[in-house]
Amino acid sequence: MHDDHFCSMEDGPICLTPQINAPAPDFEAKTTQGIKKLSDYQGRWLILFSHPADFTPVCTTEFIAFAKAYPQFQSLNCDLLGLSIDSTFAHLAWIRNIKQNFGVEVPFPVIEDLSMEVACKYGMIQPGASETSAVRAVFFIDPHSVLRAMVYYPMTNGRSVNEFLRLLQALQTSDKHKVATPEGWQPGDKVIVPPPATAADAEKRKDEGYEYVDWYFCKKSL
């Protein structure tokens, strides 16, 4: 098999890094909730995230956090889809174990990727960390199947699900209002007005009613 994101060679798969603002790599994969394809999520946001292995403590804390935040993601028109280089049977056993030991039900599907095909399309395999397990990668895919953001974490450190909720809302706010968001932005905070593109517009910026610091730095409330 060969495409822009994955190719198989005699010494194993070559994994390439996907590109922000480019079409997300297509996939069709077996999951804990049946076959899932990227096209199934057209019209909705999708957060695709990988974890190194089932039945591991850091991954368990992450899955609990994603599961608890699932209603918030759903309210933002966003689905969740997990992945690791484990079998569906391992995924199902682990999900049942999480419910038994922690009282948390995992409501989203988890991809079985024993072939590492999806993982390699999304650059989840990092040889410096492991050649057989996915790192902690997160991909934000918009309703048009465009990759909008990606985050990689090492195997030793868990991710912040609250940060992913924040980033999702920031991306949606930027799309809706054609603005940028500053460091640490939270819903309700002021947003950054895109800088003017011409000298004439820069000259007028001070009188346009924004919270003005300089011609290139203005904020406003939504």
Any domain includes 136: yes
Pick the catalytic residue from 15, 59, 120, 218. 59
124 and 27 housed in the same domain: yes
pLDDT recorded at residue 141: 98
140 and 187 housed in the same domain: no
105 and 192 housed in the same domain: no
Any domain includes 206: yes
Q: Give the domain CATH number at 102.
A: 3.40.30.10
Q: Give the domain CATH number at 202.
A: 3.30.1020.10
pLDDT recorded at residue 12: 52
pLDDT recorded at residue 10: 45
64 and 136 housed in the same domain: yes
154 and 214 housed in the same domain: no
Any domain includes 172: no
153 and 199 housed in the same domain: no
Decide the pairing of beta strands 78-84 and 45-50: parallel
Which stretches of the chain score pLDDT less than 70?
1-15, 127-133
State how far the alpha carbon of 104 is from the alpha carbons of 50, 95, 138, 162, 173, in Å: 19, 9, 22, 18, 31
pLDDT recorded at residue 5: 44
pLDDT recorded at residue 2: 37
Residues 79 and 108: beta-carbon distance below 8 Å? yes
Catalytic residue list contains 59 = yes
Instruction: Specify the number of domains making up the chain.
Output: 2
Q: What are the strands of the beta sheet with 34-37, ordered from one edge? A: 34-37, 28-31, 110-112, 78-84, 45-50, 136-141, 147-153
123 and 22 housed in the same domain: yes
Give residue 201's domain range.
178-220
Any domain includes 40: yes
Q: What is the pLDDT of residues 92-122, one digit of tens each?
A: 999 999 999 999 999 999 999 999 999 999 9
